[in-house]
Each structure stands twice: as structure tokens, then as C-alpha cells.
Structure 1
Amino acid sequence: MTDERAGDDNDEAQRTKKPRSFWRELPILILVALVLSFLLQTFVARVYLIPSESMEPTLHGCNGCTGDRIVVEKIGYRFGDPTAGDVIVFRGPPSWDGDYVSTRSSNVVVRGAQELGSLVGLVAPDENDLVKRVIATGGQTVECCDEQGRVLVDGTPLDEPYITMDFDFVPGTLTCDTPIRSGRCFGPVTVPEGNVWVMGDNRSNSADSRFHVADELQGTIPLDNVIGKAQAIVLPPGRWGLIDDPDIQGQ
């Protein structure tokens, strides 16, 4: 009789036990969400804002317009290197940091909060992250121009349908051989192994590899600086879509 009564008391206690409070579970849920966000942003993909017009019209970042927000996928380049035509996001080498201004507050507390927010993707990282298109890879020689004003890689002209703005090039009048050279002309530059040569789609308004050709890397970007491949535009809604990465070398 005593055992039966004790069992009844236990059953009654279980039935009357209050469910765990939502407010007690909320901090755990938030912590799990932040950890998942950190892992995704660090190893899988992250959203970046396009701050300039150097990739117009492929990516919007023009003065007075809403800059595109793009998804940058980080997994693919763990198993292979960027190829010509890819649009990549990378950390600028030291010579590319001339105009970069830190986005962090001078207030220690606010700066700490910004750094914490950056870890989980709520705040942009405090680094000079840039977006350009890969034109040539390690071991290739890149230059401009052929008789039609096209960029050459290992002597073969590239097919670049995404360019809409470029410096003037007039055969017989304004070329790489005339007294006044076309602004398109550069090189030749042989890309070191483990690096890539990058250029903006808005050729006449992009401080890309051509602009930094006098630095110790000849304007190239080490693969270690590459964050990932730009895959899609996610904001604003009217700009949703995949980012084109044509086979510009025809290989």
C-alpha cells in the first residue's frame, strides 16, 4: 500500500510540474543562434556590401544608389583555386589600403561591441575587403592591348562581354604605340604562382591590379587573401540574381 501511494504521488507531481519557462530558454536559443551564425559566416558564406562603382554594371555601388549586397561563398576555394572570369572578394594587400578608413569607433566599449558583432555577421569586418574579377592566374602573362584594344593573356585576347565603360582606344590614333597612349595599356605582367590578377568591370573607374602594378606583388593578389567567390546578389530585391562568371579565356 505504501509503495502504491508513493507511486501515485510521483505521477501527480509529474502532471503538475510546470513546463520550463520560455524566458529561461531564450538565452540558450540566442547563444545557439549566434554560434551557428559565427560558424556559417566564418566557414560557409557571408553577405558583403558593394561600396564602390568599380564593378558596374555587374554590381551596383554607384554614388547615390543602393549598393548591392552579395553572398560570398567560402567553401569552393578550399578545394580549388579561382579561375579567370570569377568575381571574388579579397583582403587588399598593404599597398591597396591607402584610402581605407577603419569603421571602428574610438570608444573602447563601442569598439568591443562592434568586434563582437563582426564575429556573428551583424557588423562588417574591419578590413579592406574588395571585389574584382579574376583576369589571369599564376604563371600567366597579362597585358593590354591587341589591335582591337582587348586584354591579352598569354597572347590570346579575352572575351569580356561584361565591360561597358573603358578608356578610349582608337586604332591608328590612340593605341599603345601612339605618342599619347591609350589609358587601357599596361604590362606585360607575369602573375606569380599562388596569385591572381584582378580587374574591375568598370575599367575606366577601377583602382585594380593595373593601379598597383608597381608594388612588390606587381598588383597581383595572393590566394591567401581571397575570401571567397561572389555567387549572388541578395539585396535590394529588384537586383536579385546570380553573378555571371563567363569563361573569358575560352578554355
Structure 2
Amino acid sequence: MAQMLDEGGTVDPWRRRARRRRRQMPLWQELPLLLVVAFCLAVLIRTFLLQAFFIPSGSMEDTLLIGDRVLVNKVVYDVREPVRGEIVVFRGTDRWVAQEAPAPPTDLAGRVGRTLGDLVGVSRPGEKDFIKRVIGLPGDKVWCCDEGRVVVNGVALDEREYVLEDSPLELPPNPKECRSRQFTEVVVPPGQIFVMGDHRLVSQDARCQGPVPIDNVVGRAFMIVWPSQRWTSLPVPETFGGLPHADAAPAAPAPVDPDPLEGAVLILPVVATLTVLAGSGRPGRTRGRRLLP
């Protein structure tokens, strides 16, 4: 590398010292800059790409357990429609019963912490954030039961892969409660999806609260990231692969797992964040946003 010379042809000591200072920025100066950049990256990732959600209830057991944290792809449905069998996070409609949330903090520190947490996606949940599995798409005819099984467009689903505790079969259908396994046929309206929890015995879902507009979907939950021993993807079960399309429903793309777009969304933010934090050597702690059952 060419050295900077003064008029006499010698190395300029002032320029040499300036370069040395830039190369050896002390940690107390570097750390605040790293934190600001990391915070900005977290806000951008949370807003446009993906978000971590905390599972507080057993409505999706045993696929998702209480305390699990899942990553949700927030852009996948900008390029395609939901697919049957996917697990989605969404905002419930007025028919969906909101559960009681803890009282918001009243002190200044608590309010500031809640605001910052909401920016980076680690705040407590909204009153109507839910996570369920997509069972029916627009135009699908969904009902139960055919020998105890949910039927979609005339085909009974084999749900043993993910439903380990179902609702009682002997109870009559009740449109106001989700206690019974039975429910009358529902034709999913245009622009909406029919969703159900995997733990049917406790899940409050579309059986009694109605379908959900696709516009309310936040994104697809595609991976469990915490605790570490439960790190796994969330693929579409095989039973949804051969279902016919309803006459009123447009042909949906065949499910492909893992979704290449989801893989890119996962890898790029992680690489970017690690790059920013590499100088500090102090990885941050993260918490997920909670969901309702």
C-alpha cells in the first residue's frame, strides 16, 4: 500500500497516527455504534422479514409446546397464497374471543421497555394474536365427521401425524363452543381460510369462531428455534398433499418444504446480525412475542 508522503518525501506522521487511531477504535466507542446498528437491523427484520413468537398455551400441542419460540416468515404470503397444512399466525376477527392480557406497565421504565420491545418484536402479545393450522382454503367444503375424521372437499384427513388429543366425538355440534369434534359443513368464503388447532380438545378455532381473512395473516410459522433441543422445521403434513380443489377455489400451489424463500429470509438476517455483533463478542438475549391459544 502506498504511504502518504509530505513535501520532503518522508512519511507524514500525523496521517500515520490518524490511520492507527481509526484502526484501533476502543471498545467503549465501538460498542454503542454496534448496538445502534444491531437495533436498526432488528427493527427492519421484525417489520419486514421475520419475527419470533412465544407459545403460551397448549392449543397446538404436541406440534408446539408451551414455551416454544417459533420463527414466522412475514413475506411469504406476499408472493403466494397460504397452503393447507401450514401453521400460520394471524389476527383474529371480532368473532374470535380475546383472552385477558396482563395489565400494561404504568411506570416510565416499563412503558419505555414495552415500546422498545414492540419495535424489535419481543413484546407481550396483542389480545388477538393466534396460531393455528390451515385446514381449508377459499371455496373448500369442510366438515366433521367421517368416522371421526375432518373432511375437506369429500376427502377425510388422516390427522394422526399431528392431532394427538381430539375433541369428544359423542358431543353434538355447538356453533358457540369448540368442545365437540363434530361441526356442520362450512364453505370457506372467498379471501378467507379455515384454521384449527392441533390440540382439538382445548383449541378455540374456526369450528366455533369462524374463518379468518387471509389479509389478517401475519405470516407462516416455519421453524421452532427455542428451546434448542426442539429446533426443527414445521413442514406440511403428507395428508394435505393429495386433496382435490373445490370448484370455487383456484388451484393452489403444491406445498414444498422447506420453502426456499423462507430459508433465505432466515439465513440473511442471521448472517447480518452476527456480522454486526462480531466485534463485541457478546451475543444478545432474545425473547419471542407471545400468542393466544
TM-score normalised by length of structure 1: 0.81
Q: Give the superposition deviation at 1:122.
A: 3.6
Paired residue for 1:11? 12
Paired residue for 2:36? 31
**Alpha-carbon distance in 1 for matches of 2:99, 2:225:** 27
Paired residue for 1:186? 183
Paired residue for 1:242? 233
Which of 35, 46, 50 is equivalent to 2:51?
Answer: 46
Matched to 1:12, the amino acid is: P
Partner SS for 2:239: coil
Q: 1:234 to 1:198 in 2, by over 3 A?
A: same
Q: Give the superposition deviation at 1:183.
A: 1.9
* Bigger shift: residues 34-43 or 123-132: 123-132
Paired residue for 2:92? 92
**Alpha-carbon distance in 2 for matches of 1:238, 1:42:** 28
Paired residue for 1:123? 123
Q: Does 1:208 align with 2:208?
A: no
Gaps of 5+ in 2: 1-5, 174-178, 244-293
**Alpha-carbon distance in 2 for matches of 1:168, 1:30:** 52
**Alpha-carbon distance in 1 for matches of 2:89, 2:64:** 12
Q: 1:75 to 1:110 in 2, by over 3 A?
A: same
TM-score normalised by length of structure 2: 0.70
Q: Does 1:55 align with 2:60?
A: yes
Greater C-alpha Rg: 1
Per-residue CA deviations over 1:81-136 (Å, capped at 9, x if unaligned) read 11111111112223324323256313355223312221123434545321110000
**Alpha-carbon distance in 1 for matches of 2:223, 2:205:** 22
**Alpha-carbon distance in 1 for matches of 2:121, 2:92:** 20
Matched-pair contact (CA < 8 Å) for 1:103–1:126: no
**Aligned residues with identical type, % of pairs:** 42
Greater relative CO, 1 or 2 (CA 8 Å, sep 6+):
2
Matched-pair contact (CA < 8 Å) for 1:100–1:128: no
Q: How does 1:111-190 map to 2 (within 5 A)?
A: 111-146=111-146, 148-161=147-160, 162-169=162-169, 183-190=180-187
Gaps of 5+ in 1: 62-66, 177-181, 213-218
Per-residue CA deviations over 1:143-179 (Å, capped at 9, x if unaligned) read 1112x11111222212212111112337xxx787xxx
Matched-pair contact (CA < 8 Å) for 1:102–1:126: no
**RMSD between aligned residues:** 2.3
Matched to 2:41, the amino acid is: L
Q: Does 1:224 align with 2:215?
A: yes
**Alpha-carbon distance in 2 for matches of 1:102, 1:225:** 23
Matched to 1:246, the amino acid is: P
Partner SS for 1:203: coil
* Bigger shift: residues 15-24 or 126-135: 15-24
Matched-pair contact (CA < 8 Å) for 2:133–2:196: yes
* Bigger shift: residues 101-110 or 89-98: 101-110
